[in-house]
Amino acid sequence: MESEVLILAATAASIGVVHTLLGPDHYLPFIVLGRARSWSRTKIAALTMACGLGHVAGSVLIGVLGIVFGIAVSDLTLFEGVRGSMAAWAVLGFGIAYLIWGLRRAATGTPHVHLHRHADGTSHAHTHSHRDAHAHAHEATSGVSLTPWVLLTIFVLGPCEPLIPLLMVPASAHSWGAVAAVTAVFAVATLLTMMAVVFAGVAGLSFVPLRKIERFSHTLAGGAVATCGGAMVFLGA
């Protein structure tokens, strides 16, 4: 029995790593939004950890309830599939909405020239953008950004598809201790992989020169998240 639990734990670790790597929604939003919004690495780490915990906890709760009440694995899998579809559409919708917001922000940040004429007949011109001149003070006092909360909601909604049928239910045939151990291994593997890929992506992106297109950073971030969501919805990625 102990050897079977150890095999399940090893399987949990490998599945946690692989399912995270194969799902760009586990790390891409944090990388591109962190760069676009100039988040500190501490904030990116905290948000990644919070979303990862919420992501795993949602499926753990459903799995525990399913085991306690004897719900069929097929029914749990079907429910998780519905949650997964909802999460995919949420990622796609959020990406599109953020892309549109980024386009509007870029448009208002377009530099333009103002010509000033003086009473003595002289004139001069200066270039500025409304985004640079007027937006910073408003952004500084606009309150808490909704973006982290939207991401957290999406991750709590999104299921860990392999956790219940492949790990929790088989472990429940042994004991609740086995369920807890297998679930903990899966959670740690998933979170560590998310953190590793996010920080590798953030570090790599910091070397990419984006100053010339900095005005479109939010647009590009929204496009990347929307593409990720589209792949989840239409390709099952």
What's the Rg (C-alpha) of the chain?
Answer: 23
Chain-centroid distance of CA 222 in Å reads 12
Beta carbons of 167 and 11 less than 8 angstroms apart: yes
- The whole-number pLDDT of residue 137 equals 32
- Any idea which residue has 């973006």 for tokens? 147
Residue ranges, the chain, pLDDT below 70: 1, 109-144, 237
Q: What is the DSSP letter of 133?
A: I
Q: What are phi and psi of 123, to 5 degrees?
A: -145, 160
Both tokens of 181, joined, read 């151990």
How are beta strands 123-128 and 112-117 bridged, if at all? antiparallel
- The whole-number pLDDT of residue 1 equals 56
Domain ranges of the chain: 2-107+144-234
pLDDT (tens digit per residue) in 139-179: 433 445 889 999 999 999 899 989 999 999 999 999 999 99
- The whole-number pLDDT of residue 19 equals 93
- The whole-number pLDDT of residue 120 equals 57
